[in-house]
Amino acid sequence: MRTEDFNFELPEALIAQFPPATRTASRLLRIAAAHLADKQFTDFPDYLRAGDVLVFNDTRVIKARLFGQKASGGQVELLIERVIDEHEALSFIRANHAPKIGSQIILANAVPLTIIAREHDLYRVRFDTPATILAVLEQYGALPLPPYIERNADGHDDARYQTVYAQHLGAVAAPTAGLHFDQAMLAQLDTMGVIRAHVTLHVGAGTFQPVRVDNIADHIMHSERYTIPQATVDAIADAQARGGRIISVGTTSLRALESAAQSGQLVAGENETSIFITPGYQFRVVEHLLTNFHLPKSTLLMLVSAFAGVDIMRNAYLHAIQQQYRFFSYGDAMLISRADLAHL
């Protein structure tokens, strides 16, 4: 298929620049085959029943945006893409002139950093300090809001651009479908007998990159690290045996689960994934998907089109624009399915 098949015109006014007043105050577009229903996110529990499994991505966003100076005095901005170990990371670097291998940058007038290699669009950097990278980021970094949010992060974003169940530091972008949940809704789901399971996939900045090739088969997918606990594998197997349904909260949870099931059976453990899900993909685990609206020409729009069908998703986006849904990270949500659409 062509990348242009996944393009659409979005009025700039529909790109959410701020989160809603409360987490559950978003709208929810219910997609059941050709039928579209305009709901509120507070209606989401109405579609669930005891024994269903909701799979959440419990990654936590790091303060990955840093500023510094080269030895020449030139200003530099870094976006940490991945923490490799306590002192090395992969990073995007923005500067007037590309830094040379072996050169040093001083972050926040306090932390020396050395450029040790170039890996495609990324630089491998070493933090020359006794403190760990995560400690440096916490002290000197800023939350990296997505590029379509045209403002700097503030203290309010430090809380709202994290899910309430975030645990494991490592993402540079939030798993945004989870931003709609508050503790009260999670408690409601527990009371209903809905089972909560977790995976960890550290979302990279590549999630915001458009596909730049004409033929989507030529696109090279970015890689991300994920972990599937044995408890999650067991919960899914038990639910499937009892007729319970598997609902992925977000495309990142879905990518982790589908990556871990490529052998045909879901397997616990830690691994890398560069899975690129496009129309024609055969899903192995996930039956229903809660997700936000995605960027034009993005791999995530291709994923949800594979999940629900290209025409269904195209019509759903057109409807969402006409009804003035809020788009992207701080925007509204969709509940879609690949099977038995009318009965969720």
Q: Phi first, then psi: what are they for 340, rounded to 5°?
A: 50, 45
Q: Which residues contact 36 (CB under 8 A, 6 or more apart)?
A: 29, 30, 315, 316, 319
Residue 344 in this model has a pLDDT that exceeds 70: no
Residue 340 in this model has a pLDDT that exceeds 60: no
Specify the residue for token string 């929810």.
Answer: 28
Could you tell me what percent of the chain has a pLDDT over 70?
98
| Span 70-123, pLDDT tens digits | 988 899 999 999 999 999 999 999 999 899 999 999 999 999 999 999 988 899
Distance of CA 341 to the CA centre of its chain: 24
- Three-class DSSP category at 17: coil
68 and 76 Cβ atoms separated by less than 8 Å: yes
pLDDT in the model for residue 339: 58
How many residues are given for the chain? 344
pLDDT in the model for residue 208: 72
Kindly report the average pLDDT of the chain as a whole number: 94
β 27-32/333-337 pair status: parallel
The C-alpha R_g of the chain, in whole angstroms, comes to 20
Distance CA 140, CA 163 (A): 22
**Enclosing H/E stretch for 98:** none
Instruction: Give the predicted TM-score (pTM) of the model.
Output: 0.93
CA dihedral 226, 229, 234, 235 (to 10 degrees): -80
Query: For residue 254, which amino acid is it?
Result: L
Distance of CA 36 to the CA centre of its chain: 24
β 246-249/288-292 pair status: parallel
pLDDT in the model for residue 274: 93
Mean pLDDT over residues 265-274, rounded?
96
Q: Where are the beta strands (DSSP E) in the chain?
A: 27-32, 35-40, 53-57, 59-61, 65-70, 75-83, 88-95, 104-107, 111-119, 122-127, 168-171, 195-201, 224-228, 246-249, 269-273, 288-292, 333-337
pLDDT in the model for residue 42: 98
Distance CA 344, CA 342 (A): 6
Residue ranges in 129-197 assigned as alpha helix (H): 133-140, 155-160, 183-192
| Span 279-325, pLDDT tens digits | 999 999 999 999 999 999 999 999 999 999 999 999 999 999 999 99
| Span 171-195, pLDDT tens digits | 999 999 999 999 999 999 999 999 9
pLDDT in the model for residue 210: 77
Specify the residue for token string 């490592």.
Answer: 170
| Span 6-27, pLDDT tens digits | 999 999 999 999 999 999 999 9
**Token pair for 341:** 């659409």
Q: Which domains does the chain have, with CATH numbers?
A: 3-61+156-343 (3.40.1780.10), 65-140 (2.40.10)
186 and 164 Cβ atoms separated by less than 8 Å: yes
Residue 342 in this model has a pLDDT that exceeds 50: no
Q: Phi first, then psi: what are they for 300, rounded to 5°?
A: -75, -35
pLDDT in the model for residue 341: 43
pLDDT in the model for residue 100: 93
Residue 212 in this model has a pLDDT that exceeds 50: yes
Distance CA 243, CA 241 (A): 6
